[in-house]
Amino acid sequence: MEGIVDLYSDVMAILVAVAVLVGYLLIVGLLFWDTKIAPHSSKSVEAQELKAFTAPYRPFFNFKHLTALEFAWTLLPCILLLIIAVPSFTLALALDEEIRP
């Protein structure tokens, strides 16, 4: 029973950390959203369509493709899943053993 409670606590700690990180990134993304790219003027339709498909950016977000960031947001969830899976498999195997008094 102690193992189950410990695993639950560890998984909940990871879940809260991920939720806080995602919430922070969502708030930062909304605060830095550039509303100047929305087509509000009476320019040509082509210019408005081009602006509508342009990604919003700020001076420190002016990159087009960042491989390290893509690698990190692919690798980090895999590592988190391994961190959760190893103790859960160990606990499942321990609970599968039959102990006779």
**pLDDT tens digits, one per residue of 55-99:** 555 555 555 667 777 888 889 999 999 999 999 998 888 888 777
Domain range list for the chain = 2-96
| pLDDT at residue 52 tops 60 | no
- Quote the CA–CA distance of 96 and 27 in Å, as a whole number: 44
- CA 31 to chain CA centroid, Å, is 18
Within 1-101, where are the H helices? 2-31, 45-52, 67-96
Return the pLDDT at 68: 79
| Predicted TM-score (pTM) of this structure | 0.59
Q: Which residue type is seen at 67?
A: T
Backbone φ and ψ of 51, nearest 5°: -70, -35
Six-digit token pair at 1? 């029973």
**pLDDT tens digits, one per residue of 7-50:** 899 999 999 999 999 999 888 878 877 655 444 445 555 555 55
Return the pLDDT at 38: 45
Q: Which residue type is seen at 28?
A: V
